[in-house]
Amino acid sequence: MFLPTMPLQINTEGQNKSRAPFGILLAEVFSRHHRKLRVLFGLSDLLLTALAFEAAYQTRLHLHLERIFFFSPSFKIPLEGFAVLVYLALGVWLGVYDRLDSGNPRVILRDTVRQCLLGTAAVVLFQYFLRRDFPVSRLFLALFSGYSGVLLLLFRLSSGRLVRLARREFGPQHFVMVVGLGERARRLGEELERSARYGVKLIGFLTEAAETHPAELRLREAYKVYPLTDLPELLRGHVIDEVLFAVDSEELARLEEVFLMCDEEGVRTRVAVDFFPHVNSTVYLERLGSVPLLTFSAAPHDEIRLMLKRAIDILVAFVAVIVMSPFMLIVAILVRLTSPGPAIFRQLRCGLNGRRFMLYKFRSMCQDAEQRKSALAHLSSKATAFKMRDDPRLTPVGRYLRKFSIDEWPQLWNVLRGDMSLVGPRPSVPEEVDQYRRWQRRRLRMRPGLTCLWTLAGRDHLEFETWMKMDMQYIDNWSLALDWKILVQTIPRVITGKGAY
């Protein structure tokens, strides 16, 4: 029996909030549908970008201008290959293929322009690595950018036919029956009705109550209700691709024979597991040896992507430590010369799943800052975290270190050690964590980072509750692409010191 992914997310008060009620079948159906479309759009980008490159090359070649223009095969092949691949990579990174399904002309135009401008800029940089002595014709680059933009735009604006074709091919033969007649089954039936445009067809309901069941169940349409004893005959006489079980948990054990029957027939079965009280969890099936385990994960669990995230952390932090070592030495000397005490401040913080670690910072406050904290607690601008404007404990140099986040540089060592990541919820001190409400503790399920979403939205000017909500938003929507976007957007924030006390 296959138990599918059913993503959930928390609301602002920590209550259950399903992203899509009974989206069990729909999550699978839509994801497969969008994967097909992404592949088709990606392949079209490869072909159209290659065509634009060749068209620009031939156009420039046949323009008899003052400068002679040609590419040797050893230069043209890698340049064209890079151009094609970088356009595809940008399409994936910018999420272009996820939005083409909507067919919105303004969105298509915006995405195409961004993809072409960034793609051409990448080609310009790449050609300097291939041939430093003689730059590529600027007219050729302009032609390539223009041709690629026009071809991609024309194809995407007329891609509705491709979408409709994929939908027709994808869905008309996908027939579904639902076991159950309660409120859960009705809501699942309504979701299935809304998915009709994707080719999912609800053909009826099944029930154990053979004697008392109604003849039909009316939603937007009327559906016939069958007793479960009719299922063998229905499987033999009708096309049924899936059977969905929307019943109470205590009823599942009595339906074991029905599951076995569907399994023997090769019919896919799914169970609506919304009766579980867990929140914010992705539900999926794993096996420990021969034992099936229904797993609820309230944080990213893709081990491959998390391993890539860790590898990127190590690589970037290692390079950054080497490059910034001379500057960190200068900062350390300034801290020691301008105020008594050590250059590095150490503080206990809470990391992944509550693990405690020693965080390192350049000291920005006077030596007895921790002892004076309790006397200033009533002046904090945050309810839980201690944040204070014009903190009197700051040293003259420390005020600038804080403003431009220079005091955080030693945390690159925490990243190398594995205590932290480049991107993630900021690590809190144990005293703050002890005051968290239950739903706020979920931020501990992601490795803490040097920067996060709320550093881009206002840093110290945001309310503590907003910090928490944005950390949950990051956890629920985490991807490697999101990490890179946060890192890139953090740089101007840090340089300008915007949002810091």
Confidence of residue 17 (pLDDT cuts 50, 70, 90): very low
How confident is residue 87, by pLDDT bands cut at 50, 70 and 90? very high
Question: DSSP of 425-469, one letter per residue?
Answer: SPPB-HHHHTT--GGGGGGGGS--EEE-HHHHHTGGGS-HHHHHH
**155-185 residues labelled b (16+ CB within 10 A) or e (exposed):** bbeebeebbeebbeebbeebbbbbbbbeebb
Looking at 75-89, 160-174, 357-371, which range is the least confident one? Answer: 160-174
Closest by alpha carbon to 221, among 236, 235, 204? 204
Mean pLDDT of 120-130: 83
Work out the percent of the chain whose per-residue pLDDT is above 70.
79
Residue with tokens 């990051």: 474
Region 320-338 average pLDDT: 93
Domain boundaries, the chain: 8-18+171-297, 27-165, 303-496
Q: Which CATH architecture has domain 8-18+171-297?
A: 3-Layer(aba) Sandwich (3.40)
SS3 per-residue string spanning 110-152: HHHHHHHHHHHHHHHHHHHHHCCCCCCCHHHHHHHHHHHHHHH
- Among 195-209, 242-256, 262-276, 380-394, which is the least confidently predicted range? 380-394
Tokens encoding 218 = 């009316």
Would strands 282-288 and 291-297 be described as parallel, antiparallel, or unpaired? Answer: antiparallel
Rounded Cα distance, 239 and 268, in Å: 12
Sign of CA dihedral 218, 219, 225, 228: negative
Which among 135-149, 283-297, 376-390 has the top mean pLDDT? 135-149
Residue 332 has pLDDT above 50, yes or no: yes
200: three-class secondary structure by DSSP? strand
| Least confident range of 160-169, 282-291, 440-449 | 160-169
Backbone φ and ψ for 362, nearest 5 degrees, come out as -70, 135
**Residue with the two structure tokens 């309790």:** 374
Kindly report, residue by residue over 202-223, the tens digit of the pLDDT. 899 998 876 677 888 889 899 9
Average pLDDT, the chain: 80
Q: Is 156 helix (H, G, I), strand (E, B) or coil?
A: helix
